Amino acid sequence: MELIFTGDLILDEPQPDHWLGGIAPALRSADLTIGHLEVPHTTHIAASRDDVPAPGADPTHLPALARAGVGIVTLAGNHIADLGEIGIADTIRGLAHADIAYTGAGANLIEARKPAIAYRGGKRIAVLSYNCVGPESGWAGPSRAGCSYIRVEPADGGPIRPAAALERIDPASFVTLAEDIRNAKALADFVVVAFHKGIVHTRARLAPYERPLAHAAVEAGCDVVIGHHAHIVRGIEFHRGVPIFHGLGNGCVVTRALSPDQASPERAAWARKRKELFGFEPDPAYVLAPFHPEAVNALLGRMRIDAAGKIRVGFIPVHVDPPGRPRLAPEAAQRIADYIQTIGIEAGLPPLTMQITSEGVWLN
């Protein structure tokens, strides 16, 4: 059985099959592909004022994910509640229509914490999803729609939001995480935990809470940890033999919402401020993916599990072509492997042993 993991998915542009087409052969080749759906898919337009609001994507684009091979999406991120309860409900309805399982958001916290379950190769795979970066207004409550979450508090005691210097994990969240993993293990043979975490648009760096949180998930019994949110890849490590993909970067992100030239004053101001905050100017050729220049180095995480339960871990190299279309890039395997090694060491992760093959890069 083979699992493939993608980072953020934003399909704001027409012709979603085209934008996914460069990576779809790999996604379809897996027994199960898991991605992170970043924004609500809805025609509703009333936006939250607590974060830089993302526009809703066209609900008719969701079936393109299924056609590309995506079987489960995680929803617990900082934008899923930008269009409120209606946006979440419309997204969930569209996913059900497209026959894509989901986890991480719902009409209340109980619904948001429920794992997605898939049956593949005679095994059950459970997926859990958590937002670690806020804003709190997007978190689900006992009777409030939103996403599941891990509470990570900033050093200055200010609001929990993506731009804050988040450091301290609330001990109650460790208890919740362990309980959810334990419950998922009772339902499935294999548990995937996805965290929307980290520092956006920044090379290599891991926030102080990221490794302790991932290690806690492993110690609670999960079989792999995957991360997303930063819009640039992060390093990979193993803890107690369990793989941790600290940041899968962008799976397929094509959107005009990050352009300075647009109707939304909040999004336009955020786009203009990126250079000041993160120290880079996006390549003008990447009009639909104006991210850090190094974000062209991308990957798909993969795990292969044999009949005896032995696991092989690696990634498929991906390059992002202008204006933002990802494609499988076997010719870039060495370059991307070197990049992952370098940024991992910069972030304080142990060096990896890698083997480059015609299938991609395997971690030994």
Q: In this predicted structure, what is the pLDDT of residue 190?
A: 96
Would you state the structure tokens that stand for residue 242, as one six-digit string?
């369990």
Q: What would the pLDDT profile of 266-277 be if each residue is shown by its tens digit?
A: 766 766 777 777
Q: In this predicted structure, what is the pLDDT of residue 279?
A: 82
Contact 168, 186 (CB under 8 A): no
Q: What is the pTM of this model?
A: 0.95
**Which residues partner with 131 through β-bridges?**
149, 196
54 has pLDDT over 90: no
Taking phi over 0 as left and psi of -120 to 50 as alpha, with beta for the rest, 280 belongs to beta
Binned at pLDDT 50, 70 and 90, residue 53 comes out as low
Q: In this predicted structure, what is the pLDDT of residue 263?
A: 66
In one letter, which amino acid is 78? N
Domain parsing of the chain, residue ranges? 2-363
Q: In this predicted structure, what is the pLDDT of residue 105?
A: 98
- C-alpha–C-alpha distance, residues 11 and 20, integer Å: 9
265 has pLDDT over 80: no
- C-alpha–C-alpha distance, residues 353 and 308, integer Å: 23
Q: Tell me how crowded residue 285 is: count the other CB atoms within 10 A of its CB.
A: 11
- C-alpha–C-alpha distance, residues 184 and 191, integer Å: 7
Q: What would the pLDDT profile of 89-142 be if each residue is shown by its tens digit?
A: 999 999 999 999 999 999 999 999 999 999 998 999 999 999 999 999 999 999
Closest by CA to 52, choosing from 127, 133, 114, is: 133
Report the pLDDT averaged over residues 25-33.
98
- C-alpha–C-alpha distance, residues 252 and 327, integer Å: 9
* Greatest C-alpha distance within the chain: 55
Q: Tell me how crowded residue 106 is: count the other CB atoms within 10 A of its CB.
A: 22
In one letter, which amino acid is 97? H
Q: What would the pLDDT profile of 302-315 be if each residue is shown by its tens digit?
A: 999 988 888 999 99
Strand 101-103 with 70-74, pairing: parallel
Place of tokens 């897996």: 30
CATH code, 2-363: 3.60.21.10
Q: In this predicted structure, what is the pLDDT of residue 121?
A: 87
Q: Is the dihedral of CA 304, 118, 43, 52 positive or negative?
A: negative
Q: In this predicted structure, what is the pLDDT of residue 86?
A: 96
Strand stretches in the chain, DSSP E: 2-11, 32-37, 70-74, 101-103, 105-106, 116-120, 123-131, 146-147, 152-154, 166-169, 190-196, 224-228, 236-239, 242-245, 250-254, 297-305, 311-321, 325-328, 354-357, 360-363
Q: In this predicted structure, what is the pLDDT of residue 63?
A: 98
Q: Is the dihedral of CA 95, 225, 360, 304 positive or negative?
A: negative
Residues of 192-211 as b/e, b for ≥16 C-beta within 10 angstroms? bbbbbbbbbbbbbebbebbb
* SS3 call for 331: helix
